[in-house]
Structures are given as structure tokens and as C-alpha cells.
């Protein structure tokens, strides 16, 4: 699909291929440019305050409506896929690109017995660890945040068959197209039978948007 768009500096690209060619280059130079692409992504977030407003790019007021919408969606999927969950099933989720743990704290921990968080920016993950510590957070019925992985998605392979839900929200745009595909291929092995991915992203009404 040929969709033109602007990057965050206002530079126009004819299509996504052209944007990627400039950002990560042709085959030969790819590795170095790719490393640079990921370095810039991380260093942007390293300069952002560890708060709800920070991880939502200044739109902290979106938190409530985001969680409400996600909760309705999750409830629908859970009752469809795991009708017996309330009885004895031990549900485990992975919160990818978790930032400060906003989604885990406001949503996932209420539905899953265990939640693992994956976040490459250490000051975000530290904030998540702190706010989800049992002494700071009342989780229902022994529900808990178990693992805090400080790695980026493109370098992560989950433990086989651990997760009922792998939640990926507002972070997948950091991955190059090939890493996007290989992440889902690798992460699939982390799902339990009947488990599923949730991918939540903003989409452009017209054109395309790049974070460069
Ligand atoms: N999902 C969280 C945070 C959104 S902000 C929420 O909705 O509250 C985007 C997050 O993606 C930041 O925490 C940022 O550090 C993380 N991120 C950036 N590059 C990433 C990568 N390569 N892999 C995984 N997460 C990444």
C-alpha cells in the first residue's frame, strides 16, 4: 500500500519503504543503522519523566478511558477464551514495553494471577517495580507482578508456554518491520494453548506517521 507521511521532524516520505530505507538503510549498512535506530528510541524515553503523563507523551488524561476500553475488550476475550478462569485457572500475562507499569497496575493485575513486565528503559522499570511492590500496592487475592525484564522486544524470547495473554501497547512502532515479524514468531512459543496476543496501537486516519 502506497501511503505517504511525515516523520517527527516534518520531513515527507513517499511511502514507508522510503522512510525505512533512510532510517535503517539497505542491506550492507543495515546493522549499524539499525543499532542507531534503537539507540535513539531508547534515549528519547530515557529523557522522559517516570510518570503516567510521561509515558503517555503528555496525554495523561487518556489513562482512564484507555483502561476502561481495554478492560471491556479484555473481559470479552477472557470470558470467550477462558470461561472457567474465575474458578481455578492460574492466569499469567506479559506486559510488553510496560513503561512504569501503568497497564499492569490499573488493569492486568486485577485479572491475572501473575504479570511479567518487559521494559528496556531502566528508570521506568524501577518505577514499576516500586509501585507494584506488595507493600505499595494492594493486589487482589495474592495476584502479583513476578518478573521485571529490562530488555527490548527485539531481543526478547519468552519462556515456553508461560503466558495466557501477551499485551503489547503503544510500543510496537519502535520495532523495524522485520523485527516486528520475528518478535511475534518468537513470542508465539510463550503462549499457553488458547493464549493470545493483544496489540493496541494508534492508527493514522490519513497518511502515515513515523517516529524518527
Ligand atoms: N505501554 C506503556 C508505555 C507506553 S510508552 C503504557 O501504555 O503505559 C512506550 C514504551 O515503549 C516506553 O516505556 C519505552 O521505553 C518502550 N520502548 C521503547 N523502545 C522499545 C523496544 N525496542 N522494545 C520494547 N519497549 C520499548
Exposed, middle or buried by CB within 10 Å (0-12, 13-18, 19+), for 130? middle
pLDDT tens-digit readout, 67-106 = 999 999 999 999 998 887 656 789 999 999 999 999 999 9
Q: How far is the CA of 147 from the centre of ligand 1 (A)?
A: 17
- Rounded to the nearest angstrom, the distance between the alpha carbon of 97 and the centre of ligand 1 is 4
pLDDT mean over 38-54 = 97
pLDDT digits (tens, 9 = 90+) for 160-179: 999 999 999 999 999 999 99
With contact defined as beta carbons under 8 Å apart, do 58 and 44 qualify? Answer: no
Residue from 24, 99, 172, 202 to probe ligand 1 pocket by mutation (most atoms less than 8 Å from CB): 99
Position 66 pLDDT exceeds 80: yes
Per-residue pLDDT at 170: 98
In three-state secondary structure terms, 196 is: strand
Domain limits, the chain: 1-47, 55-200
Q: Name the CATH code of domain 55-200 (choices 3.40.50.970, 3.30.2320.80, 2.90.10.10, 3.40.50.150).
A: 3.40.50.150
Amino acid at each position: 500500500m502506497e501511503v505517504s507521511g511525515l516523520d517527527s521532524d516534518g520531513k515527507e516520505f513517499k511511502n514507508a519503504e522510503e522512510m525505512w530505507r533512510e532510517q535503517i538503510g539497505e542491506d550492507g549498512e543495515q546493522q549499524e543503522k539499525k543499532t542507531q535506530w534503537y539507540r535513539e528510541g531508547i534515549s528519547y524515553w530515557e529523557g522522559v519523566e517516570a510518570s503516567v503523563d510521561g509515558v503517555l507523551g503528555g496525554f495523561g488524561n487518556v489513562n482512564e478511558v484507555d483502561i476502561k476500553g481495554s478492560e471491556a475488550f479484555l473481559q470479552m476475550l477472557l470470558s470467550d477464551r477462558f470461561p472457567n478462569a474465575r474458578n481455578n485457572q492460574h492466569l499469567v500475562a506479559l506486559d510488553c514495553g510496560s513503561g512504569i507499569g501503568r497497564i499492569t497496575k490499573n488493569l492486568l493485575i486485577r485479572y491475572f494471577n501473575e504479570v511479567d513486565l518487559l521494559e528496556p528503559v531502566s528508570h521506568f522499570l524501577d518505577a514499576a517495580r516500586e509501585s507494584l511492590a506488595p507493600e505499595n500496592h494492594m493486589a487482589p487475592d495474592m495476584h502479583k507482578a513476578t518478573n521485571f525484564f529490562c530488555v527490548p522486544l527485539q531481543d526478547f524470547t519468552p519462556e515456553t508456554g508461560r503466558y495466557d495473554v501477551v499485551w503489547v501497547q503503544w510500543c510496537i512502532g519502535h520495532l523495524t518491520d522485520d523485527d516486528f515479524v520475528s518478535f511475534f514468531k518468537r513470542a508465539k512459543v510463550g503462549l499457553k494453548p488458547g493464549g493470545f496476543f493483544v496489540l493496541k496501537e494508534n492508527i493514522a486516519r490519513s497518511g502515515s506517521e513515523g517516529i524518527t
